[in-house]
Amino acid sequence: MEHQILVVGIGPGSREYMLPAAWEAIATAKTLVGGRRALETLAPPEAKRRVVDADIEGLLNYIEEESRQGQVVVMVSGDPGFYSLLPALRRRFPRERLQVIPGISSVQLAFARVAEPWQDASLLSFHGREIADEVLLYRSGRMLSFLTDRLHRPKEIAERLLQLGWPETTLCWQCESLSYSAERVERSTLAKAAQQEGFAHAIFIVKAATGGEEEFA
């Protein structure tokens, strides 16, 4: 018998930002799949565990095998619909086998922290991937957000945007460890961000001024 696979968004990190439905699914899980940190902090002691690693095919095989015995809960950071394991799961399993519980993404929390609407923002990721220059071109009033990694920190992204013609005074925010006690949100300009180290695995928000508006406002 094939059982349901629950894909659970666990939010940006802190349990207080996790939806009650997500916490209930995790607390009652018999088999849990997730990142090492999430398993260490959220998994019930008696649950079977499988750490997500680079072997995605092996991970999918494990989920398929375990789901023959019972329900499997797959924990993903943020929201399952935003740069998570959900596309890989959809390629392996039919839609009817998957139950998705949404979560608050780190990008959503970053925009909340800086009190900016994000319905018109371009949501991009440099996390393990590249972005073509034409996607990054300057336009008045344009807003971008980036998931960063160790190779593409806000410093490197700011340098690239400046090379593509973005004004040095363009407003930006670097958001790190959101929802944790070490949370850090720093308001800056592209020129300053291009000189600053750190903020790997962060959210980087860039906001171009509209016509007649001061850039650093």
Residue 47 shares a structural domain with residue 72: yes
- Which CATH number fits the domain that encloses residue 193? 3.30.950.10
- Which CATH number fits the domain that encloses residue 27? 3.40.1010.10
Residue 74 shares a structural domain with residue 128: no
Residue 33 shares a structural domain with residue 111: no
37 within domain boundaries: yes
215 within domain boundaries: no
Cα(137)–Cα(165) distance, integer angstroms: 8
pLDDT confidence tier of residue 200, bands split at 50, 70 and 90: confident
What is the tally of structural domains in the chain?
2
212 within domain boundaries: no
pLDDT by residue (tens digit) across 155-185? 999 999 999 999 999 999 999 999 999 999 9
Q: In what order do the strands lie in the sheet with 122-125?
A: 122-125, 143-147, 203-207, 171-176, 184-189
147 within domain boundaries: yes
Q: Which pLDDT belongs to residue 211? A: 67
pLDDT by residue (tens digit) across 72-98? 999 999 999 999 999 999 999 999 999
Cα(187)–Cα(138) distance, integer angstroms: 20
The domain boundary, picked from 104, 133, 158, lies at 104
**What count of other Cβ atoms lies within 10 Å of the Cβ of residue 142?**
18
Domain with 111, as residue range(s), is: 107-207
